[in-house]
A and B are shown apart, each in its own frame.
Chain A
C-alpha cells in the first residue's frame, strides 16, 4: 500500500534534548512538507522540500532543522532552541506543484 508513514505516533522527550521525527513516503512524490498543529489552530508550515537535496524554510522554521538526502525521506529535528515544541506534527507530500498534498497521520510530541 502506498502512503506516508510518520513514526512514532507519540514521542516524549526531556526539555533541552533534540528529537527527530521520521517521515517516509513510497508514493514517489517529489515534494515533501512539515506542518505543526496546535490546539484550536490551523496547520503552520515549518519546512518544505521540492526536490532531493534541497529544502526551504516555511513560516515557523526557527528551532527546527530538516534534511532531504533521499526522495522518500524527510526527517524533522526539533532542537532545544524551539521554545514551545509540544505540538502535533504532520508530514505531507505531493507529486508536483499542481497536485494536492497528502498527509501522514502525524506525531504528537510532548516535552516533559
Chain B
C-alpha cells in the first residue's frame, strides 16, 4: 500500500510559466515532508522541506504548500526554467526529520518546454 502518492507520472510546462507538482499521503503520522529533484544516473538532490506545523515554506523559486486536512502537498516552481527538467520525488517521514528513513512517492517527470 503506497503511503506517498504522486499521481502524475509526467508534467509538461512552458518555460517561464508555473510548474505545480502534487503529492498525496495516507499516513497521518507523517510530520515532515521533503521534495527532491533527480537527474538520470544521479542521486536525488534535496530541494525544500516543510514541517507539519507549517503550511507554507518558500525558498527562491520553490514553494511548498501543505494541506494537512487533505493530506496533500504541492511544490510550485516559478518561473520554470529548462534546468528544472528532471524527476521530482515527494518524500515523508514520521520520525522528525527522517531519522528512521523516508517514504518516497514514485516521482513526477517534469519537462520544461522552450
The residues of A with any CB-CB pair to B shorter than 8 Å are: 4, 6, 9, 31, 33, 35, 40-45, 48, 50, 56, 58-59, 90, 92, 94, 96-106, 108
Contact = CB atoms under 8 A, between A and B. Distances in A.
Contacts, number: 69
A100 B106 contact: no
A103 B42 CA distance: 9
B95 A97 contact: yes
B46 A102 contact: yes
B100 A48 contact: yes
B102 to A, nearest CB: 6
A99 B32 CA distance: 10
Interface string B76-106: 0000000000000101000111111111111
B43 A101 contact: no
B99 to A, nearest CB: 3
A104 B46 CA distance: 12
Contacts of A43: 44, 89, 91, 102, 104
